[in-house]
Amino acid sequence: MQRQGRIRLLLNILPPLAALGAHAADGLAQSYPARPLRMIVAIGAGGGTDVTARIVSQKLSEQIGVPVVVENRPGAGTIIGTEVVAKAAPDGYTLMTASPEISINPSLHAKLPYDTVKDLTAISQLTTGQYFLSTHPSVPVKTVKDLIALAKVRPGRVTYGSSGNGSANHLGGVLLQYMTGTTLVHVPYKSAAQAATALMSGETDFMMSSTTAAIGPIKSGRLRALAVTGPKRLALTPEIPTVSESGVPGYEVTGWYMMLAPAGVPRDIMTRLNSEIAKAVQSPAVKDRFAALGTEPVGNSAEACGEFLRAEIAKWTKVVRAAGAKAD
């Protein structure tokens, strides 16, 4: 009898407790955000990821009424910063502006301190774009065909910089080498900004830079753009051909940025973040800033963003395996 009484007591208590938990979750979502958010950038200041994060964070802060602080955590080809986010509390106060590196690292590194798919959750894709394949003006080439010819007569002597092992501009060079039968020398730097500075000073011969970071130096003449890496010419620079139409048919490397969070963020907070971020990237002011940098806003659903990320991981896995690419 006593046991049956305890069971009845538990059955009477459990529904109110469940309701209390649901109300607490609702209250958490309604009061969110109650303090500043931090937005991790796993690459150094000055690169395309950093620039994009600061554009979005400013607008997002205006919308939600609390500061959104960009925090650069570079190192190990974005692995250090990504680990910070993957292991952060899933409360909606830690976000990450991610670039293609996050989809490359799973295939380039045998072991990561996190699982990209299981430990992170997609909020929304911010932009889509491509890269400039550009050289220092002193390099005696004016087209992609010229660059390939130079690499073939100077095997193992033509260098290209990147923002680090596993970066999109690293793998872009690997893919170019694989598709052209050349031998190129990869020179990794700690950030895209450092790699660009090295290129502009003549330390390296060429680089694939995000349009966000490279458009200024190209327009000022500090860099010479040979091509863009996407499937079509860039509206911002229609005179510059694609790599594919410049002698490497089928070559394509696209750039993008997306917003991620630790896995396990409450659904209501995720819904709020997705709505606010989509609103921010589609706002006229932000769209104009993106257009000036050669990128296009996206602002899609969390589900679509997650599917895109998984597809990118699969794509780069095939490239890495086919080319035999390894982290230097």
pLDDT at residue 214 greater than cutoff 70:
yes
User: Pick from 54, 75, 58: which is nearest to 67 by CA?
Assistant: 58
Question: What was the pLDDT predicted at 27?
Answer: 52
Q: CA dist 34 to 28, 37, 65, 84, 273, Å?
A: 9, 9, 9, 21, 14
Q: In the chain, which ranges are E strands?
A: 37-41, 68-72, 94-98, 120-135, 159-162, 185-188, 206-210, 224-228, 254-262, 296-297
Separation between Cα atoms, residue 322 and residue 107, nearest integer Å: 11
- CATH class of the domain whose range is 36-128+254-323: alpha beta
Residues whose CB is less than 8 angstroms from the CB of residue 284 and which lie 6 or more positions away in sequence, other chains included: none
Domain range summary for the chain, segments of one domain joined by +: 36-128+254-323, 130-246
Question: What is the enclosing helix (H) or strand (E) of 51?
Answer: helix 48-64
Question: What was the pLDDT predicted at 79?
Answer: 95
pLDDT at residue 317 greater than cutoff 70:
yes
Mean per-residue pLDDT, 259-266? 98
Is residue 24 very low, low, confident or very high in pLDDT (cuts 50, 70, 90)? very low
For the chain, give the mean pLDDT.
Answer: 91
Separation between Cα atoms, residue 173 and residue 139, nearest integer Å: 17
Q: Among 21-30, 112-121, 126-135, 264-273, name the one with the lowest average pLDDT.
A: 21-30
Question: What was the pLDDT predicted at 163?
Answer: 87
What tens digit of pLDDT does each residue of 118-147 get? 999 999 999 999 999 999 999 999 999 999
Q: Among 128-132, 179-183, 192-196, 321-325, name the one with the lowest average pLDDT.
A: 321-325
CATH number of 130-246: 3.40.190.10
Separation between Cα atoms, residue 76 and residue 43, nearest integer Å: 9
DSSP 205: S
Mean per-residue pLDDT, 198-208? 96
pLDDT at residue 93 greater than cutoff 60:
yes
DSSP 262: E
Question: What was the pLDDT predicted at 90?
Answer: 98
